[in-house]
Structure 1
């Protein structure tokens, strides 16, 4: 998700093709390298139902954010819409959900890259953890010195990821076996709900439609089409990968830490491990770099509006590096990483906690659309459906809902007084799309 949000800062006047590529990159990410295994572990072959359901639910959600972005072009995103619909406290809560998802998501992404490297090089658990820590350290150092990957390089990472997924599906498809789909739901339908909770991590990113809207040459025309094309591409890739992972690997789908490499072995043999490991490192670094850059700037923006201590606002201007906000993220990410390694917190838990925050953000965004889109319009009706569907997905997060609820309570308590003196987040206002 953050990759899409941060990336738009350096690419201007997007057309349909480039905008679609950025949207695909905002939804896809290194998480997809591990999610087929986590979903299969939760639901077995019935995880395909969770994949299909979330794809279906993504239609009204993505179209809602496209409608918001087309009608209110700007870079404020969900926080701006929340401020317009529900006030400054709601905007602060949404901002904190985004901000605190970063120090959880960064270690999760680094663990994915570490697992692929560890599997390729035959490393033990300790060495794999060191690789993950090195990736976390590398992205923080890169951001402290102000390193930014060019838009062309970012898009190259997206192309590489899509190429890997297509190659894996094509190589493995002939080996799909029907017997691997029986029994279909070994963990019952509660397993499907559990799989949906972790898979929302893969479908977060549609709010990038609203934050990228101002960069389109013609948001009203290009934004909806870019969203539809992204839905098609992502849907084909996700379902293809999910079906082949279960159909080819069978029981191994739930245990293999590197399912993509296992699928590629069907087509290119022993070189698959090294290729996917190398790609995973570059994809992980690229995604985490922009993920962290966006999170640090968000922290500075929250501080400037009184939702975080004012001293964290320094460095938030265009062209500057928000090192104070970045330092806070470094401390939080270091704490999460240490707790993860010391107490052996698994990747599944990290991704579910992140997904719970992002699902909560989605609900606020779609509910805001219900309030600020014109009544008795198709966009508002779609937003109502999207909100209802998002509530169902949020419920599937189970015990991990404690995290966004606790964050919301803390934000209201902390900002109740200080935010009165702060500038509010600008409300969304309709703008004409540039010609």
Structure 2
């Protein structure tokens, strides 16, 4: 362990030992392979598909398909890195814990902040779109159109997104009841989500027009790259899998398998839906479209029932996505609190349900506020920024851990080492450079606030600082 305070590392053996407890204050191992895979798929598929096309297609045009490929390749490289680290360090906290073990406390704290952006902000972005599909469903089913001021994203005709707040409250209550129960509910919701996306592809292809792919890249390569940067936040489900490290049975085997299963399923569905959507609707019509995929089905068929079914399924699916990302956020706060970098209440676990109730309430309140009043585009880009920085740290962490702990048991090793982690980090940094300027401004503000918290509280209360 480094003697320099900012570079002090948490020993891997200590991380694993802390995760292995079974007494009061410990998370419970109640999640199996398919439930964990469902968590990864649930956090990923819907995030990118239900609304990202309305922001990325105007940037890239039909070439958004290439944007998805770029994002998927980057996510795939990082998934391999996550699989190795998750099998070597099967603990709660995801890339925060990995950074603490490999690059030191200050870097770990910064990664933790990026994960707060990744999960908390993405939950807000996802919750915002729930109101759009709820409005579409009520309009088609009951001929009741909810006022845009209370359902549309702020900055797009909305003032206060009430359905988003309601959604976050419901998810918070379910998570407080217990993770095992939440994982079972999520698995059912993921099945519904995949079914309605299959419906979209099957119906949407009946209106497929090859001419919609011309011109293919109206905004050039720059548009493709910018869209890829925005789309990348859709792959946060891979990270969500690793946040469950302390609640998974047989984690050295289960974690890497679940990560790879999630990646394959997600990539196939993303590309299928993107190609179908572009083929069914001219790219110019995506800009600002509310509940876009449901609207495409209505336009293709000239009937309301496909759009009604899809909107209903989207309501359920977005619920599951929000459930998973808020779950991941609470576990990261738990890990940071246990290390002394956050105040003691963040380490409290309910003796009855085995869940961190305080964390869940804090995250739920913060997510609800962001979803209610912030523009969707900013939320999406901030999520991408946090995700890409965290993923970069994981890629570098692979190299560091191979050098510092070559003896550590690993259930999975990345192929073509060290090319794979280096290429993964390079791709992440490249996509970061393509984000919008206002995203960097917002990120700088977040980092400044984080620095105040770290040097004002965390550095003094760190458990490693108190360790002889």
TM-score class normalised by the smaller sequence: 0.7 to 0.9
Cα distance in 2 for residues equivalent to 1:389 and 1:300: 30
Match of 1:156 among 180, 185, 188: 188
Give me the whole-angstrom Cα distance separating, in 1, the residues matched to 2:31 and 2:181: 19
Q: Does 1:407 align with 2:441?
A: no
Report the TM-score when normalising by structure 2: 0.77
Indicate yes or no: 2:355 matched with 1:332.
no
Which residue does the alignment assign to 2:277? Answer: 245
- In structure 1, the partner of 2:32 is 14
**Where does residue 5 of structure 2 map in the other structure?**
none
The question of 1:49 aligning with 2:66 is answered yes
Distance 1:119 1:28 in 2: 20
1:421 aligns with one of 420, 445, 461: 461
- Aligned partner of 2:79 among 57, 62, 70: 62
Aligned partners of 1:367 and 1:387 also within 8 Å: yes
Shift of 1:18: 5.2
**What are the residue-to-residue correspondences of 1:217-256 with 2, within 5 Å?**
217=250, 219-220=252-253, 224-250=256-282, 251-256=284-289
Distance 1:121 1:22, change over 3 A: closer
Name structure 1 gaps, 5 residues minimum: 1-8, 426-435
- C-alpha separation in 2, matches of 1:316 and 1:95: 23
Structure 1 residues 143 and 199, CA, compared in 2 at 3 Å: closer, same or farther? same
2:413 is the counterpart of 1:381:
no
Does the 8 A contact of 2:40 with 2:258 survive in 1?
yes
Shift of 1:68: 1.4
Count, aligned residues: 410
SS at match of 2:285: helix
1:209, 1:294 → 2: CA distance? 8
Unpaired segments of 5 or more residues in structure 2?
1-26, 140-144, 152-160, 407-413
Q: Does 1:360 align with 2:389?
A: yes
Aligned equivalents of 1:249, 1:403: Cα separation in 2: 34
Closer/same/farther in 2, CA of residues 210 and 337 from structure 1, 3 Å limit: closer
Residue in 1 that maps onto 2:435: 397
One of 277, 292, 295 as aligned partner of 1:262: 295
Asked if the contact 2:330–2:360 (Cα under 8 Å) also holds between the matched residues in 1, the reply is yes
The Cα of 1:401 is off from its aligned counterpart by 2.9
> In structure 1, how many angstroms separate the alpha carbons of the residues matched to 2:342 and 2:241?
26
Instruction: Spell out the pairing of 1:86-165 with structure 2 (5 A cutoff).
Output: 86-122=103-139, 123=145, 124-128=147-151, 129-143=161-175, 149-165=181-197
> Are the equivalent residues in 2 in contact too, given 1:357–1:403 (CA < 8 A)?
no
- 8 Å CA contact retained: 2:37, 2:241: no
CA distance in 1, matches of 2:50, 2:418: 35
Work out the CA distance in 2 between the residues paired with 1:19 and 1:312.
24
* Correspondent of 1:276 among 307, 310, 313: 310
Alpha-carbon separation, structure 1, partners of 2:96 and 2:35 = 25
Structure 2 partner of 1:432 = none
Moved over 6 A (4+): 145-148
Deviates more, 1:179-188 or 1:256-265: 256-265
Say whether the 8 Å CA contact 2:136–2:291 is kept in structure 1.
yes
Aligned to 1:32: 49
Q: Whole-Å Cα distance in 2 between the matches of residues 103 and 69 of structure 1?
A: 22
Q: CA offsets, 1:188-218, max 9 Å, x none?
A: 3222222112101211222345445563547
The Cα offsets for residues 94-118 of structure 1, whole Å up to 9 and x where unpaired, read as 2222234444333322221110111
- Give 1:338 deviation, angstroms: 4.6
1:219 is displaced (CA, Å) by 3.0
Higher helix share: 1
Larger displacement relative to structure 2 (188-197 or 163-172): 188-197
> Aligned partners of 2:335, 2:98: CA distance in 1, in Å?
15
1:287 to 321, 345, 360: 321
| Partner residue in 1 for 2:203 | 171
Task: State the alpha-carbon separation in 2 of the partners of residues 329 and 223 from structure 1.
Answer: 25
Mark the CA change 1:257 to 1:373 in structure 2 (over 3 Å): closer, same or farther: farther
| Distance change >3 Å, CA 387–CA 103, structure 1 → 2 | closer
1:12–1:335 Cα change, 3 Å: closer
1:67-97 per-position Cα deviation (integer Å, ceiling 9, x unaligned): 2122333334211210111111222222222
Alpha-carbon distance in structure 2 between the residues aligned to 1:145 and 1:219: 27
Aligned pair in 2 of structure 1 residues 300, 383: CA closer, same or farther (>3 Å)? same
Q: 1:67 to 1:294 in 2, by over 3 A?
A: closer
- The alignment's TM-score, normalised by the length of structure 1, stands at 0.83
